[in-house]
Structure 1
């Protein structure tokens, strides 16, 4: 029971850390002001790992529009999560797992799976929040921010899916697609 609780807490902690690093990368890519929420929170949570990576990355990579330091931070965190997950599973089995030739590919695959899962979940949360705010408070500053974050994801669907009765169903379709993606990963 204690191991399951530790696993849950570990997964929650790494979801927040990886999600913050990915959201930071996405907000920087979209040129969204980081001096307002959620930028302040994202920077507070991820500065400890992103800033040192920025100093280590080559200048050409650092000057790219893509925030590679944040992407790399998310991957390193996902890799650490996979490693801790293997150790936790080993503890359930009664010891530390042996280092084998399949361990590194398994860790990389686990890290990639966690990274994709967090990216899909963060996108799901952003699209859901955008859809709710578009009905409740479409003039709010959060509506504009969420619109900028989700527009690149919704725009391709809006070109294909017609409005029905003046209602844009692209957010609903994207939520379904993201949920299917999460099911496939699971």
Structure 2
């Protein structure tokens, strides 16, 4: 019996696949942004992802700072999520449908990664806990995204509005891409 609140099994499948993809994409961006790999949070992500990524790297070689194995693994997790959810809902999808769904949900997962890390970093800055490994991890992921906006939008009265601007840009981008791909 399905109600207006959705299917809990579909929700759990989506959360599990997105969590794995989130970690894979975080690993990709940590390498791309040259994060501090001595940070305990970053080391935990490395230890979690290495058993899958090291064998993949024998086939999918890194290109410069781009850890393509992490990127491909994240996209594959999203594709499996799209396929699993459509199968669970009994919806027949063509290869093109799965491809478009994968592109859309990969975009959503990556932008949600940045949305949540920017939001958490902003909240942590309000609490004044800028020295913890967790906040340093968030800084490693968010600074390369927020700093260009910060250069254009300097703090006003000691308040940094650049994280808010990034959050708005992410939301608008999600709407635009969603309308283009899924509309």
C-alpha contact 1:17 1:77 (8 A) present in aligned 2:
yes
Q: Which residue in the other structure is 1:151 paired with?
A: 143
Q: Which residue of 109, 113, 118 corresponds with 1:127?
A: 118
Q: Which residue in the other structure is 1:115 paired with?
A: 106
- 1:56 equivalent to 2:59? Answer yes
The 1:34/1:145 distance shift into structure 2, 3 A limit, reads same
Q: Which residue in the other structure is 1:83 paired with?
A: 83
SS state at 2:89 partner: helix
Q: 1:89 & 1:159 partners in 2: Cα distance?
A: 46
Unaligned runs of 5+ in 2: none
Q: 1:49 & 1:33 partners in 2: Cα distance?
A: 21
Superposition RMSD on alpha carbons, in Å? Answer: 2.2
Unaligned runs of 5+ in 1: none
The 1:49/1:139 distance shift into structure 2, 3 A limit, reads closer
TM-score of the superposition, structure 1-length normalised? Answer: 0.82
Q: 1:35 & 1:9 partners in 2: Cα distance?
A: 33
- 1:68 equivalent to 2:60? Answer no
Q: How much does 1:155 deviate?
A: 1.6
C-alpha contact 2:56 2:69 (8 A) present in aligned 1:
yes
Which structure has the larger Rg over C-alpha atoms?
Answer: 1
Q: 2:46 & 2:130 partners in 1: Cα distance?
A: 26
The 1:33/1:160 distance shift into structure 2, 3 A limit, reads closer
Q: How many residues align?
A: 174
SS state at 2:171 partner: helix
